[in-house]
Structure 1
Amino acid sequence: MGSDNLAGGVHDDPRLGEVDLYRLPHTDLSSVRGLIIGGGSDQIFLERNKDLLTEFATSGGRIAVMGHVLTDFLPGLGVWRKLAYTGPKDLAITLGDQHPVWDGVDPVDLSTRKGVTGFYARGYVDKIPEDALVTTRIGRHALPLDYVYPLGQGQVLAHGGNDLTGWANDPNSSSKLTTQLVDWLVQR
């Protein structure tokens, strides 16, 4: 799967299918409940299709946005900023507002992977909507990292790091993220 697909690399969940990003304007989304936009997706193309994505969410759909958001392809998306870090404490993840995607996930399992910090994220997000739930924070200053906000009748989840679907095979509590993300996406 390349970065031009929407599905976030989750292949074994029967509730998911892949959509080539560049076919999105020609795809019938009427039976789709949620979209995962992978971190490597073409944000310029997404911005050109902002109306389509906005309509999907405002009509009740859920969208999970992964990675470093640098363009305005959905109303309310904050802008990713690289964190100035000098050590593990600067990249430590803490939980914020409760949300089912992070339910039961130990922030230590997000902070360190294979003995290295920074896999989960190395930045933060600014200018998030006032009504957003900040679900995780990063670093000594607990800067906002992951957040969820309403958009019309739908919701947007934004994660400012590596795709949450990439944690499915981890040997600790972080492996819950993928299933819980998909569970959240298909709810209405």
Structure 2
Amino acid sequence: MSTTNPLSAAIAPVLQVTMGSHHPAGTSDADPRLGQVDIYRLPETDLTDVRGLIIGAGADQIFLERNRDLITEFARSGDRIAVMGHAVTDFLPGLGVWRKLTYTGPKDLAISFGDPHPVWEGVEAIDLSVRKGVTGFYARGYADKIPADAIVTTRIGRHALPLDYVYPLGAGQVLVHGGNDLTNWENDPNTSARMTPQLIDWLVQR
């Protein structure tokens, strides 16, 4: 799909939506498939050749909600969106509700896998559950009121509550991760580093 201003052309098939000139932590400059776009320039950006968007955890969700039709149509037309962080506004149809998890120890924050998905292929649950000897980096909450046709790809805690999920939106798909950006793990010395390239692989598919 495209917007109205041809002067602001996208330069990569996957765009990471940034806040101003902020460069997201852990984002590789080596993958030519990944570019960045300032969130406030998104409405004027030519998305004709863009297949995927990564909306970071720090994105201005009020602005996204004001541009709900734009990003909804992007997905409905057959493209893919990865939403990071705690969704607190209804900026996309089908977004579930993030709930804070009550936890008292590491087992309450342990990550387990649900339905298989290529973004997490080959990733070990322990590498998400514990980072640098600390639990809770990956997520500290769970997803509620998710779409009935969503698949739950990861779960959290003793009760295996839904965490990451993927659902269809029109001809496209939306992936929601209720925690720190998945790209933050790109340089980790374990299997969690697989998530960034595999996320980009998934986003460029149609």
Runs of 4+ in 1 over 2 A off after TM superposition: 5-12
**What letter is aligned with 2:120?**
W
| CA–CA distance in structure 2, aligned partners of residues 119 and 102 of structure 1 | 16
| C-alpha contact 1:8 1:36 (8 A) present in aligned 2 | no
- The aligned runs of 1:129-168 (5 Å cut-off) are 129-168=147-186
Q: Deviations over 1:19-64 (max 9, x none)?
A: 1000111111111000000000000000001000000000011000
Residue 13 of structure 1 is matched in structure 2 by 31
Give the counterpart of 1:76 among 80, 88, 94.
94
Percent identity reads 75
Q: Deviations over 1:87-123 (max 9, x none)?
A: 0000000000000000010011000001100000000
**What letter is aligned with 1:4?**
M
Give the counterpart of 2:79 among 50, 61, 64.
61
Q: 1:8 to 1:59 in 2, by over 3 A?
A: farther
**What letter is aligned with 2:34?**
L
Is 1:180–2:198 an aligned residue pair?
yes
Is 1:39–2:60 an aligned residue pair?
no
User: RMSD across aligned C-alpha pairs, in angstroms?
Assistant: 1.6
Using structure 1 for the length normalisation, give the TM-score. Answer: 0.96
Give the counterpart of 1:101 among 102, 105, 119.
119
Give the counterpart of 2:106 among 45, 65, 88.
88
**What letter is aligned with 1:34?**
G
Larger Rg over CA atoms: 2
| CA–CA distance in structure 1, aligned partners of residues 175 and 101 of structure 2 | 20
Residue 4 of structure 1 is matched in structure 2 by 19
Runs of 5+ unmatched residues, structure 1: none
| C-alpha contact 1:7 1:16 (8 A) present in aligned 2 | no
Using structure 2 for the length normalisation, give the TM-score. Answer: 0.88
Deviation at 1:13, TM superposition (A): 1.3
| CA–CA distance in structure 2, aligned partners of residues 3 and 36 of structure 1 | 9
Deviation at 1:4, TM superposition (A): 1.0
How many equivalent residue pairs?
A: 188
Q: 1:148 to 1:111 in 2, by over 3 A?
A: same
Runs of 5+ unmatched residues, structure 2: 1-15
| CA–CA distance in structure 2, aligned partners of residues 2 and 71 of structure 1 | 17
| C-alpha contact 1:7 1:36 (8 A) present in aligned 2 | no
Deviation at 1:8, TM superposition (A): 5.1
| C-alpha contact 2:152 2:164 (8 A) present in aligned 1 | yes
| CA–CA distance in structure 2, aligned partners of residues 137 and 145 of structure 1 | 5
- The aligned runs of 1:123-134 (5 Å cut-off) are 123-134=141-152
Deviation at 1:17, TM superposition (A): 1.0
**What letter is aligned with 1:113?**
R
| C-alpha contact 1:132 1:149 (8 A) present in aligned 2 | yes
